[in-house]
Amino acid sequence: MNIQALLSSHFANAMTHVGVDSGADPVIKQSSKPQFGDYQANGMMGIAKKMGVNPREFAQKVLDELDQSQTLNGIVDKLEIAGPGFINIFLNGEFLAKSAQTARTDEQLGIAKIQHDTIVVDYSSPNVAKEMHVGHLRGTIIGDSVVRTLEFLGNKVIRANHIGDWGTQFGMLIAYLEKFESENGENASDMALADIENFYRNAKALYDKDEQFAETSRQYVVRLQSGDEAMLAKWRQLVDLTMTQCQALYDRLGVTLSPKDTMGESLYNPMLKDVVESLKKQGLAVEDDGAMVVYMDEFKNKEGEPLGVIIQKNDGGYLYTTTDIAAAQYRKHTLNADRVILFTDARQAQHSKQAWGIAKMGGFVPQDFEMVHHTFGMMLGKDGKPFKTRSGDTVKLADLLDEAIERATALINERQSDLSEQEKQAVINAVAIGAVKYADLSKNRNTDYVFDWDTMLSFEGNTAPYMQYAYTRVRSIFAKAGVNGDELTGNIIINDDNERALAIKLLQFEECLITTAKDALPNTLALYLYELAGVFSAFYEHCPILTADEPIKSSRLQLADLTAKTLKQGLELLGIKTVERM
Ligand code: ARG
């Protein structure tokens, strides 16, 4: 159910009947105040102005047309012109009741799978032999929530974990792994990479001080790139070990990425030569100091001189940008994507503009192929500086999650409860992981956000524990009533303003999901769920459920049931687990 879309189409239809060009938008919005109705049509003034007619008279004409065609009968109780030409729309209670009833018994909660795009979503994308750190956390969590929402709306999503698994550093890493194994025994690789960050650092240190090791490393890169089996085997070992560790984190976090989603840089390596050739042939890449460079009009330095983007170094090596040009082509033509969404932090904004700009210039994808880069701000500590450990190191994700569990354990143990030990563990896990994810998801991704254990683990405010608790409160009504949502029958009846407000809020779930997906802003969904919990609280306070007489009792139970289902589904789309009791 999408009230906004329903009203839009009826208004648009009426507008064409009174002489407006088709395609004009009546601008239907949820009203901000009850006296303005439930929805408003705000587009009349603009359209009237364009047509050179009086806005209020024009609005009246549209209303007369709607009246005559009777298309809004049973949907709307009252339409009223306000101010300079707004139309306030008051929805019909029976319509709301019926719609809520339909949504409640539908497994998609009445939300049709209306979108059918094939969308490549590039997110998480860590690097081999480097541990995933908090910098990858935001992209992983936000990307995963957007992916879930896009799929829920019906799209086909191809997850692309664009891991950094290729490049000159692999010569060094392979050489170091080999050395480590020769010193510590054949099966030492697990041990070597147990602390993957350290492994990388030690390899780099040796590379910098030991010329012979550096020479071996350089030879290994050449061998690796020419497809030497022994080198490839070691390289695969490094990739597998890293990805096993990442997968363990995805599983802990409840992120839907799996090994089959890995499409790392190495996948595109065989395509890079052709990319450069083609750009050269088209005269778009030119030689500069032995390197191949593309100049783009959009990129100039302070003096107004064009800034070149290097796509091949003078030693023949390719770059991060070259790979992304090939990736764009692959996604469009091999994966048949309708569009591409990329999540990384804001520092890569220029990179994607360049790579995608060149991909379009060179004809690797059509000019109108939609590729959107959703960036996000940094995760800050309470001191307002980039989030680091006390000693100034980047925080490892695994350690962060351990701490979350520790803190959630203390929090849950403080509370009185009759939960079994097993239930308690499930609650702790849901709260710990939920808190870390929700703290991020509930904020607008465009801003930096302060990572603060105390606020994220509070039962007050827009937090995971609050939302998870709100869900259990609704569920507890059913435990007390001794009924199951599926057994409920009868009609939803709307008499009270609080019932009405709850029904409308519930029926706005689809509108919320569409906006969430369109803007890739999960905080929209988080806010909606938080508000829904608030509207439900008001309803529960004013409309007794268990002590009400039938048929009111069953009706209110049904509203509570749809609330529980919506909260659960909404949290699931954010990737946040719910529990039945806390
Ligand atoms: N591996 C990169 C990093 O850690 C992110 C890759 C993002 N995806 C892309 N197609 N460039 O910074």
Q: Given this model, what pLDDT does residue 304 score?
A: 81
Query: In CATH, what number is assigned to the domain containing residue 61?
Result: 3.30.1360.70
Separation CA 440–CA 463 (nearest Å): 10
Non-local CB neighbours of 187 within 8 Å, separated by 6+ positions: none
Q: How far is the CA of 338 from the centre of ligand 1 (A)?
A: 21
Query: For residue 312, is it within any domain?
Result: no
Query: For residue 281, is it within any domain?
Result: no
Tell which atom from ligand 1 comes closest to the C-alpha of 352: 11
Ligand 1: residue whose CA is nearest its atom 11: 324
CB 438 within 8 A of CB 464: yes
CA atoms within 13 A on the CB side of 397: 26
Residue 125 near ligand 1, beta carbon < 6 Å: yes
Q: Given this model, what pLDDT does residue 299 score?
A: 81
Out of 216, 232, 263, pick the residue that ends a domain.
263
Query: For residue 236, is it within any domain?
Result: yes
Judgement on whether residues 423 and 547 belong to the same structural domain of the protein: yes
Separation CA 47–CA 84 (nearest Å): 13
Query: For residue 126, is it within any domain?
Result: no
Q: How far is the CA of 378 from the centre of ligand 1 (A)?
A: 16
Judgement on whether residues 467 and 567 belong to the same structural domain of the protein: yes
Tell which atom from ligand 1 comes closest to the C-alpha of 135: 4
Query: For residue 369, is it within any domain?
Result: no
Question: How would you classify the pairing of strands 449-450 and 379-380?
Answer: parallel
Judgement on whether residues 73 and 186 belong to the same structural domain of the protein: no
Q: Given this model, what pLDDT does residue 226 score?
A: 87
Q: Which two tokens stand for residue 314?
A: 């003078």
3-state secondary structure 334-402: HCCCCEEEEEEEHHHHHHHHHHHHHHHHCCCCCCCCEEEEEEECCEECCCCCECCCCCCCCCEHHHHHH
Q: Domains in the chain: how many in total? A: 3
Q: Given this model, what pLDDT does residue 225 score?
A: 87
Query: For residue 544, is it within any domain?
Result: yes
Separation CA 541–CA 536 (nearest Å): 8
Q: Given this model, what pLDDT does residue 198 score?
A: 84
Query: In CATH, what number is assigned to the domain containing residue 426?
Result: 1.10.730.10
Judgement on whether residues 557 and 420 belong to the same structural domain of the protein: yes
Domain with 7 in it:
3-91
Residue 324 near ligand 1, beta carbon < 6 Å: yes
In this structure, the dihedral spanned by the alpha carbons of residues 250, 252, 255 and 261, taken in order and rounded to 10 degrees, is: 30
Judgement on whether residues 402 and 492 belong to the same structural domain of the protein: yes
Separation CA 272–CA 325 (nearest Å): 8
Judgement on whether residues 415 and 560 belong to the same structural domain of the protein: yes
Say which amino acid occupies 216: T
Peptide bond into 551 cis (omega under 30): yes
* Number of neighbouring beta carbons within 10 Å of residue 246: 26
Residue 135 near ligand 1, beta carbon < 6 Å: no
Query: For residue 578, is it within any domain?
Result: no
Judgement on whether residues 77 and 175 belong to the same structural domain of the protein: no
Out of 204, 234, 263, pick the residue that ends a domain.
263
Determine phi and psi for 551, rounding to 5 degrees: -85, 5
Q: Given this model, what pLDDT does residue 392 score?
A: 79
In this structure, the dihedral spanned by the alpha carbons of residues 409, 415, 420 and 422, taken in order and rounded to 10 degrees, is: -20
Judgement on whether residues 187 and 72 belong to the same structural domain of the protein: no
Length of the chain: 582
Ligand 1: residue whose CA is nearest its atom 6: 125
What pLDDT tens digit does each residue of the chain (582 aa) get? 899 999 999 999 999 999 988 889 999 999 998 899 999 999 999 999 999 999 999 999 999 999 999 999 999 999 999 999 999 999 999 999 999 999 999 999 999 999 999 999 999 999 998 877 777 889 999 999 999 999 999 999 999 999 999 988 999 999 999 998 888 876 776 776 677 778 888 999 999 999 999 999 999 999 998 899 999 999 999 999 899 989 999 999 999 999 999 999 999 999 999 999 999 999 999 999 999 999 988 888 788 888 899 999 998 889 999 999 999 999 999 999 999 999 999 899 999 999 999 999 999 999 999 999 999 998 888 888 888 887 877 788 888 999 999 999 999 999 888 899 999 999 999 999 999 999 999 999 999 888 899 999 999 999 999 999 999 999 999 999 999 988 999 999 999 999 999 999 999 999 999 999 999 999 999 999 999 999 999 999 999 999 999 999 999 999 999 999 999 999 999 999 999 999
Judgement on whether residues 53 and 185 belong to the same structural domain of the protein: no
Q: How far is the CA of 259 from the centre of ligand 1 (A)?
A: 17
Determine phi and psi for 353, rounding to 5 degrees: -60, -45
Residue 265 near ligand 1, beta carbon < 6 Å: no
Judgement on whether residues 72 and 179 belong to the same structural domain of the protein: no
Q: How far is the CA of 557 from the centre of ligand 1 (A)?
A: 48
Query: For residue 259, is it within any domain?
Result: yes
CB 565 within 8 A of CB 509: no
Judgement on whether residues 425 and 569 belong to the same structural domain of the protein: yes
Judgement on whether residues 440 and 561 belong to the same structural domain of the protein: yes
Q: Given this model, what pLDDT does residue 102 score?
A: 96
CB 378 within 8 A of CB 386: yes
Q: Given this model, what pLDDT does residue 387 score?
A: 86
Q: How far is the CA of 508 from the centre of ligand 1 (A)?
A: 35
Out of 243, 263, 283, pick the residue that ends a domain.
263
Place of tokens 């591409």: 340
Residue 327 near ligand 1, beta carbon < 6 Å: yes
Residue 344 near ligand 1, beta carbon < 6 Å: yes
